[in-house]
């Protein structure tokens, strides 16, 4: 059975060619590959990074 983290990592790998776990190890965003916390402007952005691996800047851009 696949764990939730394995599922999220597999999906991120397909979409961004990088897993969320790898992004967290590097401290980078899975989308822009920049330092993630530099591009997080709020506590909500930091929480989102922990969930999705996306910095707040990229997350906001994806939402349009």
- Domain extent, residue 43, equals 4-63
Query: What pLDDT score does 63 carry?
Result: 87
Bridge partners of residue 29, in order along the sequence: none
Please write the tens of the pLDDT for every residue from 29-48.
Answer: 999 999 999 999 999 999 99
Reported as a pLDDT band with limits 50, 70 and 90, residue 58 is: very high
Query: What pLDDT score does 50 carry?
Result: 93
Considering the chain, what is the average pLDDT of its residues?
92
Q: How far is CA 33 from the centre of its chain?
A: 10
When divided into structural domains, the chain yields a total of 1
Mean pLDDT to the nearest integer, 5-26: 91
Integer Cα distance of 5 and 12 in angstroms: 10
- Three-state secondary-structure class, residue 55: coil
For residues 24 and 39, is the Cβ–Cβ distance under 8 A? no
Integer Cα distance of 38 and 50 in angstroms: 14
């Amino acid at each position: 059975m696949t764990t939730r983290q394995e599922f999220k990592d597999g999906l991120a790998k397909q979409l961004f060619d990088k897993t969320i776990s790898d992004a967290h190890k590097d401290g980078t965003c899975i989308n822009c590959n920049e330092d993630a916390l530099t591009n997080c402007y709020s506590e909500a952005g930091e929480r989102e990074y922990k969930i999705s691996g996306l910095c707040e800047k990229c997350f906001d851009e994806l939402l349009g």
